Structures are given as structure tokens and as C-alpha cells.
A and B are shown apart, each in its own frame.
Chain A
Amino acid sequence: MISKQDFPTINERAPEGLKADGNPFRVLVVDDSMFVAKQIGQILTSEGYEVVATASDGLDGVEKYKELCPNVDLVTMDITMPKMDGITALEQIMAFDKNARVVMISALGKEELVKKALLLGAKNYIVKPLDRKKVLERIGTVLGK
């Protein structure tokens, strides 16, 4: 008789987006590009993360963070956005919640702004084009995975 042990387990690894209690990490995605927001969402949800909300500008991002807090574990923040840029939005989120975990999503060539964001409290940054491995690695590091 064939038992379960006879089949090799091909995927023993737990999804990175799950906390120790089995619940998903909750992420707020702030990006004015529908394409980039979708890309981040797909990468994160494929690893078990939950995208709890998306915002298409910094102002909307700050408002959504305030509404969701404390039920949000991480924010991905674009830098160049209409209405309010990502650096100002980061400042406002950090002023509201000093323990906020914000990861900046940057185009190449924004090194000065990325440095500024890190000094203001951003926990890490990811340079586009987005690479699945790099995104999961950086976000996992911030969440202590």
C-alpha cells in the first residue's frame, strides 16, 4: 500500500508572508502606477502576504495608513507621486506611528531621496524594475523573517 510518506514533499517551506501564528502580514501599497501596484500585489500575495489596501498618491497613502493602523504591518511607498510625494508621506506616517515599517520603491537615480527616506525612518528600499526575489528578500528582512 502506498502511504503519504512514499511521495516526496516538494514544498515544505512555509509561505514567507505568514506570521508565526499563521495569519498573513498585512501590507499597504502606495504607488501611482497601476502596473507597479499590481506587480507588487502579485509578488506579495503569491507568498501569502495580504494587500489590505492600495493608495495612488502619498496623501491617500497617509490617510489609509491612519485608518488601518494598527492593522497594517508594512507599507511599500513609491517616491514620485502626484498630490503628495513618497518622502512627505513617509514623514507623516512616521510622525503618526514611530514604529511604522515603510519600504521605499524607487526608480534608479533617486539615491539622494532614498538616503533621505532612510534617515527619516524608512526601513529599506527596492529599486525598480522589481525583481520577485529582491522584493521578497527586502520585505522579509524588514519583517524579521
Chain B
Amino acid sequence: MRVEYINPFVEAAYNILTEVLGGQIKRGELYLKSTSMPVMGVAALVGLAGDVEGRVIFDMNMDTAMKIASQMNQEELKLFDDLAKATITELANLITAQAVTKLHDLGFRFDLTPPALFTGENMEISDHEVEALIVPMETSQGRVEVNVAIRDRM
């Protein structure tokens, strides 16, 4: 995967997480996966189609999702209800919008799907013929993995 695709998502995730959560955000070591991989429990997926194609997943465990949703709402949420889901979906929207603006500025043209939110245990994701690059972001609320699988359109 070309590095031009990943950097805007890393920068956008860092900027937005810092802005909406406050506190210090640390970027972990990137790693590459080409086989199926487990998803932590709450995953917001945004699809991309155009000059490039693929998807981005913002992946976290339920405890982190609840803490992030609570922080963004400035109140302690007790359940992963519609409001909590809308909050995590909005977080994915904000990060993706900022990343895509950078990619558009670099000349890439593509459309996005609205985020789809997956929740559950023992989930796995497989990307056929696209390797995924994962960027862990450590927040005060827990780890959020930005999982990017994008390729040039064939």
C-alpha cells in the first residue's frame, strides 16, 4: 500500500482524537497485515471508491468505546445505546473527513460511504488481495486502531 494513503489518516486521527478527547495521544508502531485479523469489539467502517478503493476501520474494545463516547458527550454513558453509537460514528466521520480532505488536496478523487458500525465479540475481518496497515493510537480512554486497506483502482 502506498504511504501517501496512510499518512493523512494517521495525522487526522491524531488531530481529531486530540481535539475531541483532550489529553495526550501517542502513536504506536505501525504494522502490516495481509491475512484475516481480529476486530476488538467496536469497529466503525468507512468505504472508499474512486481513484482508490478500499476501506478504513476505526477499531476499539467496548470499554474504550464507552469511555470515548462518555468523554465526547461530557457525561458518563452507562450503555452502548443509540447516542453512544452515534458518537463513535461521528468520531469516524470527523477523522475520515479530515483525512480525505488531505487526499483530495493531493489529487486523489473518490467517494466515501457513511460509516457502518459493527459491534460484537470474536469478529474477524479479511481483505481480499489488499493488505491492511494498522496504526495504533493510545488515548487516555484506551487504544484505538486505525486500520487502513486501500489500493489503486485496478
A residues sitting closer than 8 Å to B (CB atoms) are 33-36, 38-39, 80, 107-110, 128-129
B94 CB–A CB distance under 8 Å: yes
Evaluate contact between B100 and A109: CB separation under 8 angstroms.
Answer: yes
Contacts of A129 in B (CB 8 A): 16, 19-20, 94
Evaluate contact between B101 and A33: CB separation under 8 angstroms.
Answer: no
A129 to B18, CA, bound (A): 11
Evaluate contact between A35 and B72: CB separation under 8 angstroms.
Answer: yes
B124 CB–A CB distance under 8 Å: no
What are 25 A-B contacts defined by CB distance under 8 Å?
A33-B89, A33-B90, A33-B93, A34-B82, A34-B83, A35-B72, A35-B86, A35-B87, A35-B89, A35-B90, A38-B83, A39-B73, A80-B114, A107-B94, A107-B97, A108-B94, A108-B98, A109-B97, A109-B98, A109-B104, A128-B90, A128-B97, A129-B16, A129-B19, A129-B20
A38 to B81, CA, bound (A): 14
Distance in Å: Cβ of B78 to nearest Cβ of chain A? 16
| B contact residues, range | 10 to 19
Contacts of B82 in A (CB 8 A): 34
Distance in Å: Cβ of B88 to nearest Cβ of chain A? 9
Q: Is the interface of A mostly helix, strand, loop or mixed?
A: loop
* Residue of A with least CB distance to B93: A107
Evaluate contact between B90 and A36: CB separation under 8 angstroms.
Answer: yes
A80 to B101, CA, bound (A): 16
* Residue of B with least CB distance to A81: B114
Contacts of A110 in B (CB 8 A): 97
Contacts of A38 in B (CB 8 A): 73, 83
If A38-B73, A109-B98 are given as contacts, then 12 extra A-B residue pairs at C-beta distance below 8 Å, sorted by A number, are A33-B89, A33-B90, A34-B82, A35-B83, A35-B87, A38-B83, A39-B73, A107-B93, A108-B97, A109-B104, A128-B97, A129-B20
> Known: A38-B73, A109-B104, A129-B20. Contact between A33 and B97, CB under 8 A?
no
Per-position contact with A for B99-113: 1 when CB-CB < 8 Å, else 0? 011001000000000
Contacts of A39 in B (CB 8 A): 73
